[in-house]
A = this chain, B = another copy of it.
Amino acid sequence: MKVAGRPYRTIWPSTDGQAVEIIDQTRLPHALVTVRLATLDDAARAIRDMLVRGAPLIGATAAWGIWLAVRADPSDESLAQAHASLLATRPTAVNLRWALDRARARLQPLRAGERAAAARQLAVEVCDEDVALNRGIAAAGLPLICALAARKPAGHPVQILTHCNAGWLATVDVGTATAPIYAAYDAGVPIHVWVDETRPRNQGASLTAWELLHHGVPHTVIADNAGGHLMQRGQVDLVIVGTDRTTATGDVCNKIGTYLKALAARDNGVPFYVAAPSPSIDWSIGDGLRRIPIEERSARELSHLAGRLPDGSVATIALLPDGSPAANPAFDVTPARLVTGLITERGVCAATTAGLRELFPDRAGVAEEPTR
């Protein structure tokens, strides 16, 4: 998408062909800084230290990391070591394993001398496929927004609430939850986005707001606490969020707090959609509440926060009394019963086993009981 009028992706091959470049997302929203990844270690560090984040972008960065590894050393040992070290960077991301297993399966049968070129080709494919998936979600989701726009009085934008960052910064481009939003904006449909700041890491305030601002999409940042109130007052027409993992029955594991917004949406009759590219769907499990382990992240993410001082420098402040502990579960599970629909690259479906099977008859479903 655009930053100051110029199109960007989140990851791209450097012009000298010797490395890849990324936007360092730990510096946003205070500075737009690009970083060059020239080695496997650079790529692993970029994922581990969250210079890149978001399941699709993590997968893409891993694919480029494999290229950086086999370009330096195309041996079997090097490939195995690259797979292992990249896999260890983040515990939850489904796309990470998916991209790495795919790279290994593609490269292992090849002679060493062919591997670098094949790895590069695969990384390009992984990136382009992600963008194609997201354009599919955009096409599937745009009619939902257009239908709401048709019912609004003139001059009243469609009010969309989103949580965390499932934007182009979480993917290679376009985003998942933001895909229909950018499609509507680019098509001239009047929209306004409520951006949950998304404590504790503030991905909404730091990333979603930044990307909407720079692409030109009207938006307003709100506290995570405010969404229910806005729905009660009729100020939200539609919720669209992303998903880190979707079960075969339609349960959605996404950033902590998503469940609370789904409850408020149901209580107020607001449609609650989840942008779910098929790689986010875990066909092997049904009951998300019982089966999806929730990452407990560092308490420091809650107790400390970085931001801009008046002089423009970035500083980290402590928020809690010295001695008060903090807990930081990073995700929650929204039961399928609260989800109006899943927006996939193949269209919109009910968040049910049957709904998913209809769109993805080629994927194995499970027959586990749905979450209560």
Interface residues of A (CB under 8 A from B): 28-30, 194-195, 197-200, 202, 205-206, 209-210, 212-213, 219-230, 232, 255-257, 259-261, 263-264, 267, 289, 294, 302-310, 314-321, 323-329, 331-333
**Given A205-B320, A263-B263, A332-B229, is A326 in contact with B256 using a C-beta cutoff of 8 Å?**
no
Tell me, in angstroms, the Cα distance from A316 to B232 when the chains sit together.
32
* Known contacts A256-B223, A260-B260, A324-B209: A229-B305 contact under CB 8 Å: no
Report the bound CA distance from A199 to B327 in whole Å.
16
A194 contacts which chain B residues (CB < 8 A)?
327
Contact B224 A257 (CB under 8 A): yes
- Interface contact A221-B333, CB-CB below 8 Å: no
| Overall SS of chain A's interface | mixed
Q: A198-B225, A228-B260 are in contact. List 11 more A-B contacts (CB 8 A).
A: A29-B321, A206-B321, A212-B324, A221-B326, A224-B257, A226-B257, A226-B328, A229-B259, A229-B331, A232-B289, A305-B307
Closest residue of chain B to A326 (Cβ to Cβ) is B221
Chain B residues positioned under 8 Å from A29 (CB to CB): 320-321, 324
Kindly state the separation between the CA atoms of A200 and B261 in the bound complex, as whole angstroms.
17
Q: Measured between C-beta atoms, what is the minimum distance from A249 to chain B in Å?
A: 16
- Is the beta-carbon distance between A305 and B319 smaller than 8 angstroms? yes
Residues of chain B lying within 8 A (CB to CB) of residue A255: 225
Count of chain copies:
2
Q: Which residues of B contact A200 (CB under 8 A)?
A: 223, 225
A326 surroundings in chain B (CB, below 8 A): 220-222
A199 to B224, CA, bound (A): 8
Smallest CB gap from A371: residue in B? B232
7 shortest interchain CB distances as A-B pairs: A225-B257, A307-B317, A29-B321, A229-B332, A209-B324, A263-B263, A308-B318
Q: Which B residues lie within 8 Å of A202 (CB)?
A: 319
What distance in Å separates the Cβ of A93 from its nearest Cβ neighbour in chain B?
A: 19
Indicate if the CB atoms of B329 and A230 lie closer than 8 Å: yes
Which of B222, B224, B228 interacts with A223 by CB under 8 Å? B224
Contact A327 B222 (CB under 8 A): yes
A263's partner among B230, B264, B302, B328 (CB-CB below 8 A) is: B264
User: Shortest Cβ distance from A167 into chain B, in angstroms?
Assistant: 13
Residue from B205, B232, B316 in contact with A333 in the complex, judged by beta carbons closer than 8 Å: B232
9 contacts between A and B (CB under 8 A): A195-B324, A199-B225, A220-B324, A220-B326, A221-B303, A223-B302, A228-B260, A260-B261, A308-B317
Nearest CB of chain B from residue A297's CB, rounded to whole Å: 11
**How many Å lie between the Cα of A128 and that of B304 in the bound state?**
38
CA–CA, A89 to B315, complex, Å? 33
